[in-house]
Structures are given as structure tokens and as C-alpha cells.
Structure 1
Amino acid sequence: MKDLFEAQWLGGTVPLKNRIVMPPLTRTRTSDGDVPNELMATYYAQRASAGLIVTEAADVNPHSNGYAMTPGIYTDAQREGWRLVTDEVHRNNGTIFLQLWHVGRMAHSSLMPNGEAPWGVTEQRAEHSTVFAHDADGKLALIPAGTPRRIATDEVSALVDSFSQAIANARQAGFDGVELHGANGYMFEQFMNSVLNTRTDRYGGGTVEDRTRFLMEVVEAAVAEFGPGRVGVRLSPLGRFNSMPADPLAEETLLYVAEQLDRRGVAYMHLVYELMPEGNMETAEFKSRFVDHALLARIRAAFSGAIIWCGGFNDSTNAQAALDTGLVDLIAFGRPYIANPDLAERLKHGWPIAEADRSTYYTRRGELGYTDFPSYQMRTSGYSTV
């Protein structure tokens, strides 16, 4: 029987102090140039009691940026900024992976180099979805995603190289591993969706091998850089978020991906089950009770690494119940980690879970709603973090 609070090894190489995961949470607190900073280092270090921290998504090149003030990992300054983060997390005995993404069509020309069109698998726009970019008056706001440009075959191969360099930068910045963001309607999933991907080249949607080729090439680059057991992949089975079309081949693709990731020595699959096809991440709702356990069992049979389950968990009872199914190994708590830096201790001891003010999720107001949440013990002792 798995216990939420027991220590174990991830991928046979990475020690975790418990089965609790802090998943990626975009917070838009970077410095100019999308550079991670000391404030971010404090934020992640405060949460180092999680078994595993997976950072907010980092851009792999300038065309990857779909949301203002999200961090990158493609410049020297960004790499050194992330080094501040990993040093602080490790100083607090934490384990941290960097999530890497390319948003693909989920972008706007106001954030692209020289005002170019976003990069897309095809020219199909995400008709009902928004991005955090500059509006017509130059102000940051949630605005409709732009119309993408279909990137050429050689540009896809070049993008694999961008990921490879970003992965190398992540290792140099001191990360314990990397997670590839293949969920929520971003570039990897855009390629994998058989309805959206109408390409006819070697990355096209005609066969499962072709539409997953881009992901597998990047996975191979990540495993080559970090070694087996230090690479994860996040997926959203049957997801419709960010205007993704319903895909009749979704289960076939998912099970194929699980088998291929297993063959390549991937440490974990991070499964997020989401329902809403529209809106943004602040309004999306994630409900684990809707998970198809039969499908999860088929994934479990195909993949021998760890499975992280992310979807509406907010206390130790429902998290332990998920572990008790025997289908998953680690539980991710998303929003509870915003206002509870000591979430692992609160869950273990049954202490109250605080709630954050949503208006501070994405802001430039520094520590407000970011690093100013005290631990439960500090709160009850009358201390403050500021």
C-alpha cells in the first residue's frame, strides 16, 4: 500500500521525500528579459517540502512565448536566474524539475520577435481561447490568440534543436530533471491531435508515429542530456483546453505515447484531466472524479515509470484514495500550493488549508500573494514572512 507521505525513488535515481508534487503554476513574476530572479528563488524554496517541484513552464526560444512575463531558458541571463532558484531549493533539501514548453498557436504577434505571426502546426487559430499579451493600446490583457503561421518541416527540426539547447541549459542551471509540457493544447499536443494536425510531412497527422515524432525526438534529446529517470512528460488525455478539437484517435495516441515513453526510459507521466475547452488556466476546472479508470489502467499497463495524477486534489483524504487505486504513484496539488508553502506539512498534520486571492495569481506586485504566505506554524506563533 502506497502512503502519501512516504519517501521513495523517482526513476530509480531521484530521491523524493514524499509522494506530493507541486505542479507547474504560472505566476508572471520574472524580471525584464523573462529572467528568473531572487523573488522566484524564495517562492520555490518556501515550497521545498514537496517531494517534487515542477516549475512553471519555461520558453525554449523567443517564438515560444505565448504569455507575457513567463520565464525563458534560452539566454545566459535566464540560465543564471534559474540557478538562483535551484540553489535555494537544494539548500532547503528540495527536488526540482524544469518544465519546458513551446506554446505553438497559443500566442499573439505582440509577443513574437519583430511582431511575427505565432508558430503553428497549421494555420488554424485557437478560435475561442485567450493569451496574456499586449492589446491594441499596448496594455497587457487577456486577448484572443493570434492566427498562426504553419511552420516548415526544417523549422520543426530546428525547434527540436531549440529544445535540446534548453535542456542542456536546464542541466547547467542545476535542475534535477526536466518535464516536457505535452498537455493543455500547446505545441506538442497540437502535433499529436489527429484532427488539428493536417500536415503531410514526416510530422503530419496521418499516422500515430508521425504525429508523435516531434515529442519523441525531444524526449530522446532530454534523456540523452539528463539520463534515464530524470525526464517527465505532462499529458492531458482527451483534453479540449485551448480550443483543441475532439480527437477520435486520442486513446490510441495516448497508449502509443505511453509505450514509447517507457521504451525511452522516461521517469514519469504527469496526467492532468481537464474538462473545459475554452477560457484560460485561471478559470479552468479540473475534476479527478471524471477520470476513466479503465483507461488509466491501460496506461499503467503500458508504462512502467511513475504516474503523477493531477486534477482537483485538495486534501490528504482524496489524495490517498487516488493512491489506493494502485494506478498512480504521485499526487499533484496545484492551487493549494499558492497560499500554502508548507502544504506537505499541513496535509500530514491535518492543519487548515489557506486560500489565495485570485487577483494576485498574475501580477507585478512582487511578493504580494506570492511569497508573503506564512507557514501554519509561523501563523499560529504570530510570526510573519515579511
Structure 2
Amino acid sequence: MKKITINQSKQFVGETVKIGVWLANKRSSGKIGFMQLRDGTGFMQGVVVKANIGEDKFDQFKALTQETSLYVTGIIKEDTRSSFGYELEVENFEVISDSTDYPITPKEHGTEFLMDNRHLWLRSKKQHAIMKIRNEIIRSTFEFYNNNGFTKVDPPILTGSAPEGTSELFHTKYFEEDAYLSQSGQLYAEASAMALGKVFSFGPTFRAEKSKTRRHLIEFWMIEPEMAFYDHDDSLEVQEQYVTHIVQSVLKNCRLELETLDRDLAKLEKVTTPFPRITYDDAVEFLHKEGFDDIEWGDDFGSPHETAIANHYDKPVFIVNYPKAIKPFYMQVNKENPKTVLCADLIAPEGYGEIIGGSERMDDYDELKQSILDHGLDLETYGWYLDLRKYGSVPHSGFGLGLERTVAWISGVDHVRETSPFPRLLNRLYP
């Protein structure tokens, strides 16, 4: 007898197999019962017929409790009524370990209760689907960059300064020195790009921003490519190609999970290159026409502004060339309008906001040095970063994509807390 996993079912139609599972739910009526089985690779139904397994075994089935672990044996059958397409005609089962009083029952639970039990909530069908989509985005990210000549690098998590010159950092002691949890790997990725040409990093970042919005986490993961000899327009092309690639990969490989989440697939199918591009100036003018009288030139956009702009398009949209005064010190000045910089935010549709921020980086030593001073930053702290412009500087660009916001958008879930296995929120460090 072959021991298989649920996601291998289509390879064993008509065969008797054994699967290690948990009992997600069950129901019975008279002489037939139904098991909702899960094993980590997927969910499927097990059909238990009293006449096939005997009265004693059928009574044992009726006594099974939610999340009891089992070995089940039976015949794989096609099932066109289910979205999965297959079911198990159960011939026998063996209890591995009982589950008593499982707290997350098939009923409505409050968000705080579910978050307190996040270690168990992950087992649910919806959360399983979100994590599978997250994994596919990660897998296709590595595929995209490996196929396009990028080298993976790993910036440090402990840093001696703030890459973006902000005070919203987590401070710690590094023996006798002050250190901070990284808010971005960008500066180190730039150094790596000067050695390796095109690089990308993928790792955790931390923001001590006291925000409770549905778009924010305290700890989140960033994909951050940096590319030597790439200008701003070159970078925008990479961004739209990359986002298109991960969306199409999820559509291809996670269609069942998207259907589990009731995601509107038609909206994702529209995500193809090229993406619309509007300037910051045009965005402000558009917002005024839409009745947003609160926004003035020089202001950063908030969630309502980004949503209004995104709703005007049916795919992600670039907002380019923001005012220099509201952007970090390292961004290249736009020679056509020195009050702005060569940067872009990529706004996801359907109200999910910014998923990418990127720019061309300053490549002139004197300009960068002056910008560091203008921002009130310490030259000595950024000495190594200035060195990159001292020894063979070249035009270069990069960007950062926030994984959790991207998962939320592609999955269609309302809050980023469901896109991380164990999210860290303003008032949550448990479990």
C-alpha cells in the first residue's frame, strides 16, 4: 500500500492508499459519514460507509473529535462536485492522537480570540490558502531573479544606523555600541550591487511605527533588488515584469487556494505589463478633481488618496517623481524638476496601497555628501556608503517590495495580519 499526501491524489485514482491526516471536521447521516481531512498539502473529503467498515468502526468514527490525528486508508476516487476534484473512500482508519476541546470550532470567532490562538488558527482552510499563496510568491520571486541574472545577498539585521534617517527604529545594545533592527537592507544591497552587478535580498525588516492600520505590521519581509548601470526607467520595467510574474505564477499554481478565498480572478488576470504611470504633479491634480481638497503639493499621500488613484485604473499604477522634501536622502534629483526626485511608488488596485517603493540612487559623491548633511545625518556613520561613490561610482537603481501587503492584495484578504504566520502588531507579541 502506497503512503501518499493529499496533493498527490490525482496520481493514484482507483488505488488503495494510506494518508496521515488531521480531522478538520466531520458529519454523518444514518449509514454514511463524511470526514474533512487535511495533511498540510491540502484538504479532501473522506467518505465513510457503515456497510464497508462495520458497525464498530462506524461508531468509532462518530466519536472522533476535531483535530484528532489519523492514518486513513482507502481508495482515491474522482469527485467532480468538489473544487479539489478527488475524495477518499475510507476503508479503515487508525487514531494516532486524540484532540480534546479544540478551541476553534466551526463557528464565528472574534479577531482577538483567533489572534490569541494563531498557532491553531493557521490550520484553517482559509489561513492554509493564504500561506500557500505566500509561499508561491516567495518561490516565484526566487525564480524571477535567478532567471534574470541576479545574485541573492543577505544584508545584516543588526545595523549601526537608519537607512532612511528615521527615528522609528528598534534600539538595542550591541555589546558597548548602540544598534538597531534593520528597517531596510537597501544600503548594503547597493554595496553588493557594486560588486555583483544585480542583486536582491529577502529578509525581515522592522518599523517601530505606532500604526494600527490594516496595511501595517511591526515586523515584515522585504524583497529588495539593486541594479548597477540601471536608471530609473530601467528599474520601473523590472518592477512591472516582476509583479506580473508573481501574479501570473499564483494564478497558475494556486488557483484552488484563490478560489477558497473567493478571490476575483478576473482582477488578477488584468495584471500584465506595462503598468500605467502618472507623475506626482498629475496625481495631486487628479485628487483635487476628485474632491480631495486637503492635499497640497508637497504632501505625502495617505491611504484614501492612494485608493482613489488606484481605483481609476484596473491594474497597479506607478506614481513617479515625488517631492524631494518628503523622500529619503539617497534619491537622485530629477534634473527636469530639481524639487522632485527620480522615484516611484507602485500602488496596488482595490485599496491595498503601496506595495513597492523605489528610486534611482544618487551616484555623485559631492551631491550625496551634501544630502546627508542637509538631512542632519552623521557623515562618519555613512562613510562606507559614501565610499561607493568614491571608487568607480555608476548610475544604479533599486526598490523594495513588501511581501505581506503583496500577499494581502493577491489573496484579497482585508488585513495584513492574516498574511504572516505569526504577525507582530503594535500590541501583539503573542504567540
TM-score (normalizing by structure 2): 0.24
Q: Quick check: which has more Rg, 1 or 2?
A: 2
Higher-RCO chain (CA-CA 8 Å, sequence separation at least 6): 1
Structure number with higher strand proportion: 2
TM-score (normalizing by structure 1): 0.26
